[in-house]
Structure 1
Amino acid sequence: MAMDDTRSVKKFKDSETPLEEGRVKLEAKVIELDDLIKAHLDCMANLTNRGVAVKRQLNAQVPFARLPIEIVTIIFHLACSAEYEPFSPLRIGSICHHWRTIAWSASELWSSVAVGLEVSREATKKQEDLLSDWLLRARKQPLSITIAIREEHDPRWDDPPAYNSVLSLLLAYSEQWRSADIDTPSTLLHLLPDWLNAPILERLTLRCDLEGYSDFPVIVCAPRLHSVTLVGLYRMHPVMLPWSQVKTLHIEGYGMQDYLDNLKQCPSLVNLVLNEQDFRGRESTLLTVVKLGSLKSLHVTAHGENCLMLDRLSTPHLEDFDVFFPEINQDSFNSLRTLVSRSGCAESITRFCFVSYIFSEEEMVSFLLGLPHLSELVLYNSKHAPPFSGIFIDALHSRGGSADPEGFVLPNLKLVHYTGPIMLDIDGFLAMLDARYTSASKAAKLEAVSIHGYDQDVKNISDLPQVRMLQAQGMVVDDVA
């Protein structure tokens, strides 16, 4: 290296370079700017906090905010328990700090739990965390539980995991269940315990297909259980319930006659709904009659020959009788007449609803006249059936009851609804309305009449002056074609 080069290098090492001086100045500038930014951020935070405080003071002037917390909680509870589109307490808590404070502390808002089980483990874990917080906020409140599955057509449900943490968490709270609606595939039923302790459970709904289920039955210990709904179940034995205390039973399934023998275990039944979802063409088998001595309400939907299941029932204290036969079958009407005759309940029936093809107006009227305490009558006749004539209206107008020869044959009738083909005699109809509303003395007034027909005369009933006069006095007369 030349002498001049050596001197240049030494001079460079011994001097402070302009680059170093510039770096020091920039670092100082950055620190200065950071301090300014922090000061401004602190100022913004202070302004934000002051703004929040002022907004809370402003919100406090709203009349709703002045309500006592107890009243606000009741309003929130009504919103969360609405039958149509109820609010979630999470949604209420997202409105403002004041509402969130109330919602988070009101345990009754968290007493309804609806869970759609996830098939993936990742989604199940997130759901479990949310559910844990939800149940903690519910504290010791009686719970209304709804358990279903998401993506029910996902093929992974055919071979689900051997453990589901969400279902296990809900089962751990079974002692707080007041009502439970469980809709799961049969492949998940093995996760249920052999013994389910639910000391305050009052209402239970099971929506499961058990055709391929062969495990040991689940024993449910529920001393307060009084209402049971079974949907889609092919057999009742996989679930052992305290049937002797059940007062309301609603069954929607297949082969209703298979359930009738199980009804013998329900001596306390007051309300029974048998809704057959479809007819599988099974032949009826006439077996022993099942007597339901406490039954007051019977609603039946039956397809095909299964309408004959009414031949196997005896209901001596029946008050509300509602039948729907979707198919045209002459035997369907005969079966319900057999039930009434065998049971001796003609004088106890106060409401009768018949939805089916009515073969004969005369037979129907004859049956109705045998129900002396009938208060509410609803008939839905097929549009393809023979039209009703004056026989039906004349029967409502006729007198000569067994208790009072001068009174109407159906003295307690208050509501009449008929939908179907009808040839209406307007004069006779108006005379019946006037007699049963204006001139009724000993008999109960006919308060409401609905005639839904296909004739132009029926469409114009409400336009008649006589009908408008009755409506002005309080009678309800409806006509829809």
Structure 2
Amino acid sequence: MSENSPHRSENENSRNALLQQVEAVETEMARMWALQENERLRLCSKINSLSPFDQLPAEIKTEIFYNALSPLTDLYDSEVRVVDPFFLGKICHGWRDFVWSTPIFWTTLCLQLSTDNYETQVVLLRDWLSRTGEYPISFCLDTEEFPETRDDSPIEVLTLFGSVSARWKEIAISFPDLQACFDTISTAETSLPLLTTATVQLDATEEELNLLMAPQLSELRLSSPLLRKVLAPWHQLREFLASECYVDEIRFFLHNAPHIVRCAFKDIESSILESSLDQELFHRPLLLENLQYLGLHFNNINVESTCILKQVRLPSLREVSLHNPAYMPREALLSQITNSFQSSPLLEKFTWSGTMMSDHDLIQALKNIPSVKDLSLDFLSYGYISNLKLLTEEFLQRLYFPHAEILLPNLRSFEYHGATSLNEHMHLFRDVLVYRFREYALRATEGESEQMTVSQITSVSVTSSDTFVVSPDIQEELNSLVQAGLELSLIDIPGRSRSEH
């Protein structure tokens, strides 16, 4: 053995001892740093707790956060910025802990299935649903692109949603194979006990839909349905929207939904789907005493179109949206449609778009709705009919005294988009405004308001593809009306506003 070995061994022992001391110091430093970091976080948390928001009770903070989250309708609107729990959790550590531990924040979700990320989506959906506790849930399931690249149904996702069907509150489903979706739900009679709102896209013409197991369903929106193949608690619906329905289907719905409050039909096919339908249905008197809003957007108009509201009384109706197609309908048909609203003394707002071939047709249709206060006419899209110009002398003369049958006596707001002949009758337009706005105000000041035959108009807007030509004296009069409080706009599309307030 070398004579230096004892000395070398002693040095090695000393080195190891020193290394152990260094390690002990570093461990102590780490422990002290951790203690100090915890203390720093505690103090910072105390500082944060002094903020007005953190001093709020937990239930109020929950309400604020919950109201900040996007509703279900925004989740499937690509133009709306979505605020979800993940967005709130990114703000700070305290918010993240609060959001992650509060089930109600996770009760609304939108899932757009992707073939590439399907397995990951299943895992995330399972975790998401586990955070909802026992709260009712609202969701949107969009599988529009999923079947294009995948043959089998997303059974795992459907099973997960089906497992919590007893807590469905609002749903929006775009899924070609609805049967596969609803097969995952319990067959119990009330397997959707909390469902109040459903939006369903039906792709197959022969597809059936059964929502009878939803005893609280009050709002239903269907796209491309065959209503005879839809089983729903029609009698309890308060709001209904459907597209691409036939005349007999709409009449079938109205007869089966006596408590409906709002309903709209888009892209109406003005024909009879089932010729075997008992024609007596169209002649049977019908009272819809709760209906307040009605939307009718026709793909085409013919005699069958008028059957929708034939023998129908709408005493509570307050608002109508009517759209007729871009070709010339028969004159009598439009007035027959508005004739149905003579039983609606509360009707205040009327929106009409489409084609109108003459002021005479327009007058005949508007004569049926004297109670209207807010009238919006949009015939601008059909300016390709070069000789079509509305707001003619005949129409303007019907709007003010001394005409024996003044049109729209309760009108307060008027909006018009379309070709006009106002340049030829600007003096009449001025007289109408003076009579409807200024003279009403004068007579009201003199205490004659109860004897008034017309209401005071407060807002008028005319937008046209024609360039308005207003003489200086008429412009001066219009300016004085604006200064007196009338909201007035004359806008030609290529140009600028002539009078605006």
TM-score, with normalisation over the residues of structure 1?
A: 0.80
Aligned equivalents of 1:414, 1:262: Cα separation in 2:
34
* Aligned-CA RMSD value: 3.7
Name the counterpart of 2:371: 373
Find the partner of 2:66 among 53, 77, 88. 77
Residue 457, structure 1, aligned to residue 459, structure 2: no
Aligned equivalents of 1:45, 1:18: Cα separation in 2:
41
Aligned equivalents of 2:147, 2:158: Cα separation in 1:
19
How many percent identity over aligned positions?
20
Tell me: CA distance 1:56–1:319, structure 2 relative to 1, closer, same or farther (3 Å).
closer
Give the partner amino acid of 1:322.
S
Tell me: CA distance 1:280–1:439, structure 2 relative to 1, closer, same or farther (3 Å).
closer
Question: Contact 2:270 / 2:298 at 8 angstroms: preserved in 1?
Answer: no
Tell me: CA distance 1:231–1:394, structure 2 relative to 1, closer, same or farther (3 Å).
same
1:317-356 matches, within 5 Å, as: 317=314, 318-331=317-330, 334-341=332-339, 344-345=342-343, 349-356=347-354
- 3-state DSSP of counterpart to 2:130: helix
Tell me: CA distance 1:341–1:213, structure 2 relative to 1, closer, same or farther (3 Å).
closer
Name the counterpart of 1:55: 44
Q: Deviations along 1:248-283, whole A, 9 cap, x unmatched?
A: 210023656555434432233332211128x79999
TM-score, with normalisation over the residues of structure 2?
A: 0.77
Aligned equivalents of 2:9, 2:306: Cα separation in 1:
103
Name the counterpart of 1:434: 434
Residue 446, structure 1, aligned to residue 452, structure 2: no
Aligned equivalents of 1:127, 1:460: Cα separation in 2:
68
- 3-state DSSP of counterpart to 2:488: strand
Deviates more, 1:366-375 or 1:110-119: 110-119
Tell me: CA distance 1:438–1:305, structure 2 relative to 1, closer, same or farther (3 Å).
closer
Tell me: CA distance 1:391–1:108, structure 2 relative to 1, closer, same or farther (3 Å).
farther
Residue 93, structure 1, aligned to residue 59, structure 2: no
Aligned equivalents of 2:125, 2:153: Cα separation in 1:
17
- 3-state DSSP of counterpart to 1:304: coil
Name the counterpart of 1:176: 167
Question: Contact 1:452 / 1:479 at 8 angstroms: preserved in 2?
Answer: yes
Aligned equivalents of 2:325, 2:10: Cα separation in 1:
97
- 3-state DSSP of counterpart to 2:131: helix
Find the partner of 1:302 among 291, 295, 298. 298
Question: Contact 1:256 / 1:274 at 8 angstroms: preserved in 2?
Answer: no
1:124-135 matches, within 5 Å, as: 124-135=121-132
Name the counterpart of 2:110: 114
Structure index of larger Rg: 1
Name the counterpart of 2:421: 423
Aligned equivalents of 2:66, 2:60: Cα separation in 1:
10
Give the partner amino acid of 2:282.
V
Tell me: CA distance 1:335–1:409, structure 2 relative to 1, closer, same or farther (3 Å).
closer
> Structure 1: where are the runs of 5+ without partners?
1-10, 403-407
- 3-state DSSP of counterpart to 1:221: coil
1:126-165 matches, within 5 Å, as: 126-136=123-133, 139-140=134-135, 142-149=136-143, 151-152=145-146, 154-156=148-150, 158-161=151-154, 163-164=155-156
Find the partner of 2:262 among 253, 267, 271. 271
Name the counterpart of 2:222: 230
Name the counterpart of 1:391: 394
Give the partner amino acid of 2:486.
M
How far did residue 97 of structure 1 move? 4.2
Tell me: CA distance 1:479–1:400, structure 2 relative to 1, closer, same or farther (3 Å).
closer
Residue 248, structure 1, aligned to residue 250, structure 2: no
Give the partner amino acid of 2:34.
A
Tell me: CA distance 1:460–1:105, structure 2 relative to 1, closer, same or farther (3 Å).
farther
- 3-state DSSP of counterpart to 1:76: helix
Tell me: CA distance 1:469–1:134, structure 2 relative to 1, closer, same or farther (3 Å).
farther
> Structure 2: where are the runs of 5+ without partners?
75-79, 441-448, 493-501
Find the partner of 2:99 among 93, 100, 103. 103
